[in-house]
Amino acid sequence: MMDAAASDPVAMGWMAGSPPPAATQVRWDDGSMWRFPQYRWGFSHMRELVPTAAIPRAGDVSPLPLALRDELDDVTLTTLAGQAMSWRQSLAATYTDAILVLHHGRVVYERWFGVTRPDTQHILFSVTKSFVGLAAEMLIAAGKLTDDAKAANYVPELQGSGLGNATVRQILDMRTGLAFSEDYVAGQQGLSDVQRMSIAGAWMPRLAGYDGPDGHFAFVASLGQDVPHGGDFVYRTPNTTALQWLVERVSGLPLAALIRDWFWQPMGMEADAAIAVDRLGTAFGGGGLMASLRDIARVGEMMRLGGRWNGRQIVPQAVVARIFRGGDPAAFAHVNYPGNPDGSYASQWWHRAGGQAMALGVHGQGIYVDRAAGVVIARLGSHPVASNRGNMGVTIPAYDALVAALG
């Protein structure tokens, strides 16, 4: 596998020229946007490849004061595989596209690699889910959704489907028995579940053999149930699609408008965001948000500050407390995530035993909030392995070393 320097998207020359020569093209219709190292360019240019709904910013930008400490480059750490490296080396080892560290609200570290810039709308993948989770918890806090109510109570179209009789809480915590395999490297014959979901959502073209539904919501309504709901945590993206459906139905807001009105505009974000939409205009709440590094750092900081940012209570304190409480480690233990032995997953956020909350996207996106240390880390990435298992063996010890150094 090419390392970060060899796969640098500027050096590779992706999409350079008018028009770009065939060998340098990164495209939706031939699937090249999903290939490494092409996607080291593509993840920063996803909106040029798929339709998106706008999430416009507004008003004055909320400040992120600078107190840079470039010596953090030299912080040393040992990866879970036992390799010694510096913080700076850890960024290359994890194919980091951009990273920002806040300590007690000040930017102590910020780096840009490859094709990223402060206004790049980088795909966040499953970090998107954590916004849907916040929205659902906010609706629960407002009494508009109820933990124990069944999904079909709110969205009758789910009646009879795998998730119709799952509760809001089971879906929020991904403890459902949905018949869906989140396998990004499926080798079996025919289309994988993830491919089918991607085709339904226009994330990929309609491949031969696809006879499934059209649109994210129709896709989740087409899924059955394998095992009883309420068992162990199993990560399955269509849970988030169902949750998004409940959130949109109950709030009356399409997800893009909700993120605009509840987060982007009141938080004084500095860049517009965007979210991928299917052929019916439905946002991909499971993974389609595209936003700037500094703006996702603001989300982390808002969470660190108990939901308060830019002079407003963005998220109720009780919701933030709920996120930081995490879920049931016993339901999570079987997944055996590198660097997170006693953690959990709840409300579409990841939780470490040390009390840290994380929003994580495949290929290395992340918002990491350590309230005890006063540290927030925002990260964009394009790791060749389509799983955070590919980088958490480095990032978690790196974060712990950085927090110790900031001490």
Is 7 one of the annotated active-site residues of the chain? Answer: no
Minimum Å gap between C-beta 28 and a copy of itself is: 7
Closest CB to a copy of itself among residues 16, 321: 16
CA–CA separation, 189 and 46 (whole Å): 28
CA–CA separation, 64 and 293 (whole Å): 12
- Is the distance from CB of 246 to CB of 224 less than 8 angstroms? no
Closest CB to a copy of itself among residues 18, 188: 18
CA–CA separation, 91 and 255 (whole Å): 32
Closest CB to a copy of itself among residues 29, 211: 29
Q: Measured at the alpha carbon of residue 45, what is the angle toward residues 63 and 50, in degrees to the nearest 5? A: 115
Block residue for tokens 């996607």: 39
Minimum Å gap between C-beta 235 and a copy of itself is: 24
Interaction site with a copy of itself (CB under 8 A): 15, 18-20, 25-29, 45, 47-54, 56, 58, 119, 121, 215-218, 245, 248-249, 254, 271-272, 274, 277, 279-282
Closest CB to a copy of itself among residues 5, 23: 23
CA–CA separation, 95 and 382 (whole Å): 6
Instruction: Pick the catalytic residue from 126, 130, 161, 251.
Output: 126
- Is the distance from CB of 79 to CB of 348 less than 8 angstroms? no
Instruction: At 375, list the tokens.
Output: 């540290």
Separation in Å, CA 9 to CA 28, 46, 64, 92: 17, 14, 28, 13
- Is the distance from CB of 310 to CB of 268 less than 8 angstroms? yes
367: DSSP letter: E
Kindly give the residue spans of alpha helices, DSSP state H, lying in 260-406.
293-304, 317-325, 329-332, 392-406
Minimum Å gap between C-beta 283 and a copy of itself is: 9
Closest CB to a copy of itself among residues 100, 271: 271
Minimum Å gap between C-beta 399 and a copy of itself is: 30
Minimum Å gap between C-beta 281 and a copy of itself is: 5
Which helix (H) or strand (E) covers residue 241, if one does? helix 237-251
Closest CB to a copy of itself among residues 97, 370: 97
Minimum Å gap between C-beta 330 and a copy of itself is: 35
Block residue for tokens 């998220």: 315
Catalytic positions:
126
